[in-house]
Structure 1
Amino acid sequence: MVLILCPQMKDLETFIQSVFHKLPIPIAETDLPEKFTFPFSYQPHPVALSAVKALQTYLNEQKKWNHDFGDQTDESGEICGKMFGVLVVQNKGKELGYLAAFSGKLAERNYLEGFVGPIYDRLAEDGFFKEKETSIIAINDQIKAIEHDPQYLNLLSEYDTKRDRSNKEMQASLIYKKKAKHIRQLKREAAMQDLSSDRLEDFLQQMSKESQDLHFQHKRKQQAWREVLTAAKERLAFYQKKIDELKEKRKSKSAVLQQQLFDQYQFLNQRKERKGLTTLFKHTKQERPPAGAGDCAAPKLLQHAFLNNLKPVALAEFWWGQSPKLELRRHGYFYPACLGKCKPILTHMLAGMRVDENPAYQEALKTKGLDIIYESVDYLVINKPNGLLSVSGKYVLDSVASRVKAAFPKVTGPMMVHRLDRETSGLMVVAKTLAAYLDFQNQFLNKTIKKEYIAILNGIPEYKSPSIKLPLRPDHHQRPRQMVCYIDGKLAETHWSILEIKAAKARVLLKPITGRTHQLRVHSAHPEGLNIPIEGDELYGLKSDRLKLHAAALTFEDPANGKLMEFHLDPDF
């Protein structure tokens, strides 16, 4: 994506004098978009690019406030990189300009000169949030004071010591009981061979008595320790009760404060209809607003426009600064609004406006039919074109699955053994019988099916290990994006090598050992992977004519006879 260059900002003071900024270059009415930006998937319109360039120039040159965008985290541990947004607007006098906003807070403030403010300023000193937050902080301090009380710590240490001793002694007692039982069994077996019936009966009674004595001895020891630990717990109970009461009080106050905070976030649309966070998220999967909902740049910008009778024309949001550790963000790159936090809000705010169609709803391909590479009685190997879904979606029915059904109407049961992303082209195997489907599923589970991909990266990676191991999980707020997570992520491994370097870009061979969603795309783009996104990757890099990722090789065993089948298909890029 090429940004439109604009003249250097000559007077930085003009930016902070108003939140309505004139565009740096003249724009004719005929050059404006016919519809407003679809915020969840878009290519920035040239008029928005002009505003972005002006804002980025200001960010590079301003000295009014300080925020270190270059470090990973600031002293509070928060991410220093920041999402910014611009909204091109038109006032009643038909004058074009743009508004600027940042997500969350910037330089520890909600308000900065030249930027639109928050929906609600929770940092206001005279606001209810600060006052009630102070009372919750006071409860936290009370809990900490108890938890650091020397007498409480001594009692806690005493209890832990006695509990550990109890566990060790009872474990030793159990081991002794088991050994004694084994010895008694050996003695019984020997006695059965050596003793007369009269002596044997006396001996067995003696063994039974020993068993009972050990059992009751173990029980008495268990009861004694139970009494010791109960007494120690009772001495702790005074403090623990206070801690539990304070935590319950904190929980109650936090819930009330959170709901009161939600009530302050009321969002407008061009019809001047107002809805709050609780209402907007009531029918979503999470049912309650997630943390930070309403504090993103796009809702701030639209709210200011509707409050001030400005007509929204075009929107663009970009990341500025260092990427967070888990998510993939690149300095200066454009990103769509997040689905988890913003979709319910923006759906309401854009109601009644003419908005670009969601690209995901569009039938991407005019060509029909299947490009069949190989066909047997049991399966097909096809070349899936870029832009075609593997299976039909809610809004787009055209897919590999629908085309297979149309071409082979007698095929029943599951067919799709695996999937390729809509944007990825290349080799796929499709089952024509249930037996073949089950066989292929088993091969995938046993990792005997081998796949190789060819991709073009938007640069040349530095030499690293030929194996990338970064665990992945879904980014719940920005589906379908995936993120690296060392806590909840699933193991994902990719082997890679460079095939060719041309025009400052690397053609690479990617071999997925596991098959996680977007694995190759994230492993390419992530700083701990190749640190260079695949060309045309709209989610993790920059959008272009297509995603340069192609499934070029596929190897599996024929379900009918076990013969090794190998297929190779070069990409068209």
Structure 2
Amino acid sequence: MEDKCFHRLPNGNEVAVLGKAKVFPNPFFYEPSPLARIAATLLQQSLPVLKEGKMFGVLIVEHKGELGYLQAYSGQLEGVSDDGFVPLVFDYLQSDGYFKTHEAEITALNCEIETLKQSDDYAKAVKKLTDLKVEAQKVVAEAQQAMAVAKQLRDERRKKTFVSEDEQKGMIRESQYMKAELHRTKKRCAALLEAAEAETEEYKKKIAQLKNIRKRKSDELQRWLFSQFTFLNAKGERSDLLSIFRNYYLQHSPQSVLATHFATIGEQATLFPPSGTGECCEPKLLQYAFAHSMRPVEMAMFWWGEPPKTEIRQHGQFYPACNGKCKPLLTWILKGMNVAANALETENEQSIDIVYEDPDLAVIVKPSGMLTVLGRSNRQSVETILRQRWNDNDTPIIVHRLDMATSGLLVVARNKQAHKHLQAQFKAKTVKKRYVALLSTKLLDRIELPKEGTISLPLCADVLDRPRQIVDRNKGKTAITHYKIIGKTPLADSRYSEAVKVELCPITGRTHQLRVHCAHPEGLACPILGDMLYGKRADRLYLHAEYLEFTHPTTGKLICFEKKI
């Protein structure tokens, strides 16, 4: 019987000439092959433009001696037929199934919680408590003011003339009475507030109880769901999501298994996968291939449709797999396959250029592709090179950082005093920094964009795909960048012959700030060339820290450095 999910590639002989990859591409760092691009184009031709964008993927496979491809989409999709797409690894969406039945219970709890929070009685109780607090403060303040006035009058009476013993006793009694009355007033107010708080507390207690029940039911349902998602790997082994994630973090980061992302099953602690794990393109495609005796050859994922408001996604652009949901899972699924190394994690041999050095600090030029500090991989870093050079393993030297892909000027400290002084300058924002970025010439098509301006977009980490950053106006931290468009410049790159030079001056120093501010639709809407996270690949990321100005921690003199890209 013909497999409806297996799509033959056209002109088989001509396609075969393109060749197949000798190793399976690393899903976290890859360049789509010609075969993968052909399959992606064929899929794109069948897709409508989506108002709410979606990640799609293709997997080149060998099936019964024939080369073809599988296609998938991440999550759920409305408005597009499922015909020809690989199915869910586990279909949990039947209307009368376990998941939907228990999901309905959680939805009912949500409604009950919201009904309580929005009820007139609860609103009245909250208003009553608020009004009582205001009234109590007013009454107590008036009593205290009356006491102060009475005391002032008594003091003035004593200063002006002789006060008899009886009058003196009367003044004392007045003072004692007013103090006692203030105490009684506070006590009455406290009693009224206690009663009002008890009334609102009943509602809060009920809401909290319902939330606890909801959380328990939600965790139980999520745990059940993850236990139903079972996956094959290239070795033919089968395991569920809970076990895969727990074993991954035990092997790669044991401390994570002791962190806060826990759900307790009896005496067993299990790291919960993020919601939606197992529903991305990559695991769906590989599972179908393994389950139907197809050999995976190459894979590619692309975004189709409008981007989300927070994330940066380009229509038709290819993207790597996400780290939060896919890295533990794909690491296990691909076990036993010959997978290309992740170039971002492999060893590299580079050198740094020291442009200034004295007993207190050094200013260096970091090349693109080098880490500032030692990471989890075996890659060289500025820190390790300088510690070896200075034979110093204890002194804090790193004052600020550049992204691994960014090149340019860095100041590093050589003693604790210099480190503290330089850090204080960065914190006070007295250090002047200027970057130069090369963007696509399409930037000049935006005739409405001022040649100079300021971008302010709050940023925070994408917790499911670090180190990617997203724009979040609720949780994000303030991020401000001044920009100046300089103009066109020739570029010796294998993909681009010219670019637009833009000067960028960050006022704040958020992770990937300049990269996101360039790429985001509310920023320059034009990714920096070579930005594989937010834009398109090039020979390198064309972002360079070319100017640095700060006060020397010992001499107090203002010093500046400039290094063109």
* TM-score normalised over the length of structure 1: 0.86
Indicate the SS of the match to 2:185: helix
Residues in 2 aligned to 1:563 and 1:144: alpha-carbon distance in whole angstroms: 61
Residues in 1 aligned to 2:323 and 2:242: alpha-carbon distance in whole angstroms: 16
Equivalent position of 1:130 in the other structure: 100
For the Cα contact (< 8 Å) 1:122–1:130, is it kept in 2?
A: yes
Equivalent position of 1:54 in the other structure: 42
For the Cα contact (< 8 Å) 1:411–1:432, is it kept in 2?
A: no
Indicate the SS of the match to 2:21: coil
Unmatched segments (≥5 aa) in structure 1: 1-15, 61-67, 72-79
Deviates more, 1:23-32 or 1:516-525: 23-32
Change (3 A) 1:197 1:44: farther
Unmatched segments (≥5 aa) in structure 2: 250-255, 262-270, 490-496
Per-residue deviation, residues 265-296 of structure 1 (Å, max 9, x unmatched) = 11111222111122122354432121111111
Q: How far did 1:250 drift?
A: 4.4
2:475 to 488, 491, 497: 488
Residues in 1 aligned to 2:374 and 2:414: alpha-carbon distance in whole angstroms: 18
1:311 to 290, 295, 300: 295
Q: How far did 1:174 drift?
A: 1.6
Indicate the SS of the match to 2:236: coil
Residues in 2 aligned to 1:165 and 1:361: alpha-carbon distance in whole angstroms: 61
Equivalent position of 2:65 in the other structure: 94
Equivalent position of 1:399 in the other structure: 381
Change (3 A) 1:20 1:519: same
Change (3 A) 1:211 1:261: same
Residues in 2 aligned to 1:468 and 1:39: alpha-carbon distance in whole angstroms: 33
Equivalent position of 2:371 in the other structure: 389
Equivalent position of 2:443 in the other structure: 460
Deviates more, 1:39-48 or 1:515-524: 39-48
2:221 to 257, 261, 266: 257
Deviates more, 1:415-424 or 1:546-555: 415-424
Indicate the SS of the match to 1:551: strand
Per-residue deviation, residues 17-43 of structure 1 (Å, max 9, x unmatched) = 821111235333882111111111111
Residues in 2 aligned to 1:321 and 1:127: alpha-carbon distance in whole angstroms: 32
Residues in 2 aligned to 1:493 and 1:402: alpha-carbon distance in whole angstroms: 31
Indicate the SS of the match to 2:130: helix
CA RMSD of aligned residues (A): 2.6
Per-residue deviation, residues 548-570 of structure 1 (Å, max 9, x unmatched) = 11111111112221111111111
Q: How far did 1:398 drift?
A: 1.6
2:89 aligned with 1:114: no
- Amino acid of the structure 1 residue aligned with 2:375: G
Equivalent position of 2:401 in the other structure: 419
2:487 aligned with 1:500: yes
2:344 aligned with 1:360: yes
Change (3 A) 1:420 1:247: closer
For the Cα contact (< 8 Å) 2:18–2:34, is it kept in 1?
A: no
2:135 aligned with 1:172: no
Indicate the SS of the match to 1:340: coil
Equivalent position of 1:21 in the other structure: 7
For the Cα contact (< 8 Å) 2:144–2:182, is it kept in 1?
A: no
Q: How far did 1:104 drift?
A: 0.6
Change (3 A) 1:51 1:442: same
Q: How far did 1:48 drift?
A: 1.3
Deviates more, 1:47-56 or 1:25-34: 25-34
Q: How far did 1:512 drift?
A: 0.6
Q: How far did 1:441 drift?
A: 0.9
Deviates more, 1:376-385 or 1:509-518: 376-385
1:510 to 501, 504, 513: 504
Residues in 2 aligned to 1:30 and 1:38: alpha-carbon distance in whole angstroms: 19
Equivalent position of 2:410 in the other structure: 428
Q: How far did 1:129 drift?
A: 1.9
Residues in 1 aligned to 2:196 and 2:558: alpha-carbon distance in whole angstroms: 69
* TM-score normalised over the length of structure 2: 0.87
1:32 to 14, 20, 43: 20
Deviates more, 1:241-250 or 1:312-321: 241-250
Indicate the SS of the match to 1:506: strand
Change (3 A) 1:420 1:141: closer
Equivalent position of 1:196 in the other structure: 163
Change (3 A) 1:244 1:224: closer
Change (3 A) 1:108 1:344: farther
Q: How far did 1:200 drift?
A: 2.5
Equivalent position of 2:458 in the other structure: 471
Deviates more, 1:489-498 or 1:453-462: 453-462
Query: What percentage of residue pairs aligned between the two structures are identical?
Result: 41
Deviates more, 1:401-410 or 1:112-121: 401-410
Indicate the SS of the match to 2:69: strand
Residues in 2 aligned to 1:391 and 1:241: alpha-carbon distance in whole angstroms: 48
For the Cα contact (< 8 Å) 2:140–2:182, is it kept in 1?
A: no
Equivalent position of 1:297 in the other structure: 281
Deviates more, 1:320-329 or 1:221-230: 221-230
Equivalent position of 2:252 in the other structure: none
1:41 to 22, 29, 48: 29
2:317 aligned with 1:351: no
Residues in 1 aligned to 2:456 and 2:116: alpha-carbon distance in whole angstroms: 44
2:239 aligned with 1:275: yes
